A and B are shown apart, each in its own frame.
Chain A
């Protein structure tokens, strides 16, 4: 069965040496950035104790840095940033709807159960 409507999208991705240089430069930049973020995370993790008053702030910083790292991996390494907007939305929106709900319900229920445990032992 021959079809005349199939476009070889795979061939569109080709680029020349100049474009390649530009892309590689970006890749190296992101590499350095990701490494730096990891180093900062480890440094903070090792120097601030969980019992300290700063811990909540540190937690938020960790989560933000992780999201930043994840963003660079998905957008640059997996080049979702260069794909069509439709594709980006189809991938990201359903995922975030599910996961945000799951996080919300997980923490909400855990708090309730934690309280039950506490009152049970008293």
Chain B
């Protein structure tokens, strides 16, 4: 076509002249991309709803699973994810302020608010890293298979392990020695491999030690899979009875009676699919946040070098803004369907 005609007028093309949408090509395409991406996330969340709907009572409850705060410990249901939601909303606000400053050709304003948005994005990513790490490492009690074959999750305050006193020498520790390092890790590892029995721990070097542990408080067993005696959806088991059942199972010396944290095969919170959905949905969203932060940084560089100012408009900021708000929008739904419901 080149060289044939240098000019194309409206008549030869569509004869329409004006777009019925009154928006630029780039913005329209960004909207279309967001619709398709929204369908992807809807598909994931609906698949989650589908799985959850047919699993019913066995499904973990958000306020039971996510009840920790950094530095503060347990007993703060949903507060942390609410904080994450707030961080993302605030960074969405700073983005919309950057867009507004762009419409006034206020380069300083755009720079300021874009920097704030990038910082908010990093904060959210950091929070999510903490959330994941906490989810993967799990609680101090874990999920336990009781003597009757039922499976229960455990809530309450785990009494601290003070030390191990070695009773029988192994290749490393001698009898009478007191071990003070890495207690929780060794304890959980032994519990998973069935190396605990009646208050004693079989350490990796072959020695046997007595566990000196403070008493647990407010223990509560919530049944997630029915056994012979305890049924799914039944009453919570509390107090001395809960402690008896828990430690009976923990000290049974059997492999895999207890599960701590989560991986792709099993998790302490509920059915296997729960952790898979958690990793996939929040991971996919986190990936969107990550790419959003990268795009925001690139646009910020464009703002700093004056590219958009020369162009006469800050529409690039507006387009990335659309993407960034979309990320916030998705999180609002993930927050409701994954954490609240």
CA distance A111 to B8 in the complex (A): 59
Closest Cβ–Cβ distance, residue B25 to chain A (whole Å): 9
- Is the Cβ of B82 less than 8 Å from the Cβ of A38? yes
* Dominant SS among interface residues on chain B: helix
Asked whether A5 lies within 8 Å of B85 as measured between CB atoms, the reply is no
> Can you name the residue of chain B whose Cβ is closest to the Cβ of A39?
B82
**B130 contacts chain A at the CB level, 8 A cutoff:** no
Chain B interface residue bracket vs A: 35 or more
**Interface bin, chain A:** 35 or more
Within A1-53, the residues touching B (CB, 8 Å) are: 1-5, 7-17, 20, 23-24, 27-28, 31, 34-35, 38-39, 41-42, 45-46, 50
* Nearest B residue to A87, CB-CB: B21
Known: A83-B23, A90-B21. A1 touches B10 (CB 8 A): no
Nearest CB on B from A48, distance (A) = 10
A38-B89 contact, Cβ under 8 Å, with A78-B325, A99-B42: yes
Taken residue by residue from 72 to 84, chain A's Cβ proximity to chain B (1 for < 8 Å, 0 otherwise) reads as: 0110111000011
Inter-chain contacts of B34 with A (CB < 8 A): 91
Q: Which of B6, B325, B332 has the most CB of A within 10 A?
A: B332
B61-116 CB contacts (< 8 Å) to partner A:
61-63, 77-79, 82, 85-86, 89-90, 92-93, 95-97, 100-101, 103-105
A50 to B101, CA, bound (A): 45
What's the minimum C-beta distance from B190 to chain A, rounded to whole angstroms? 34
User: A114 touching B333 by the CB < 8 A rule?
Assistant: no
B23–A77 CB distance below 8 A: no
In the complex, what's the smallest C-beta–C-beta distance from B201 to chain A, in angstroms?
36
Interface SS majority for chain A: helix
Query: Are B54 and A1 neighbours in the complex by a CB distance under 8 Å?
Result: no
The smallest beta-carbon distance between A25 and chain B, in angstroms, is: 11
Closest to B9 in A: A4
CB distance from A39 to the nearest CB of B (A): 7
Q: Chain B residues near A113 (CB, 8 Å)?
A: 54
> In whole angstroms, what is the CA distance A81 to B92 when docked?
17
Known: A38-B85, A62-B336, A66-B332. A13 touches B103 (CB 8 A): yes
A95 touches B24 (CB 8 A): no
The answer on a CB contact under 8 Å between A42 and B78 is: yes
On chain B, the residues within 8 Å of A78 by CB distance are 321-322, 325-326, 329
Residues in B whose Cβ lies below 8 Å from that of A76: 96
> Are the C-beta atoms of B53 and A50 separated by less than 8 Å?
no
Is B340 close to A, CB under 8 A?
yes
Query: Provided the pairs A13-B315, A110-B53 are in contact, do residues A4 and B10 lie with their beta carbons within 8 angstroms?
Result: yes
Q: Are B7 and A4 in contact (CB under 8 A)?
A: yes
A45 touching B54 by the CB < 8 A rule?
Answer: no
Q: Is B280 an interface residue (CB 8 A)?
A: no
In the complex, whether B214 has a CB less than 8 A from a CB of chain A is: no
Q: Given the known A-B contacts A4-B7, A4-B9, A5-B9, are A17 and B104 also in contact in the complex, defined by CB atoms under 8 Å?
A: yes
Mask: chain B, 318-341; 1 = CB below 8 Å from A; 0 = not: 100110011011001101100111
Task: Provide the bound-state CA to CA distance between A109 and B325, in Å.
Answer: 33
Tell me the residues in window 46-63 of chain B with beta carbons closer than 8 Å to chain A beta carbons: 46-47, 49-56, 61-63
New A-B pairs, 5, CB < 8 Å, besides A1-B7, A110-B49: A2-B6, A7-B19, A73-B92, A84-B21, A117-B54
Question: A residues bordering B, Cβ < 8 Å?
Answer: 1-5, 7-17, 20, 23-24, 27-28, 31, 34-35, 38-39, 41-42, 45-46, 50, 59, 62-63, 65-66, 69-70, 73-74, 76-78, 83-84, 86-87, 90-91, 94-95, 98-99, 102-103, 106-107, 109-111, 113-114, 117
Top 10 nearest A-B pairs (CB, nearest first) are A110-B53, A114-B54, A5-B10, A10-B315, A66-B336, A87-B21, A42-B82, A106-B50, A10-B313, A110-B54
Some 14 contacts from A to B, beta carbons below 8 A apart, are A1-B8, A3-B7, A4-B10, A8-B313, A20-B103, A27-B93, A46-B79, A77-B92, A83-B21, A98-B39, A99-B42, A113-B54, A114-B53, A114-B54
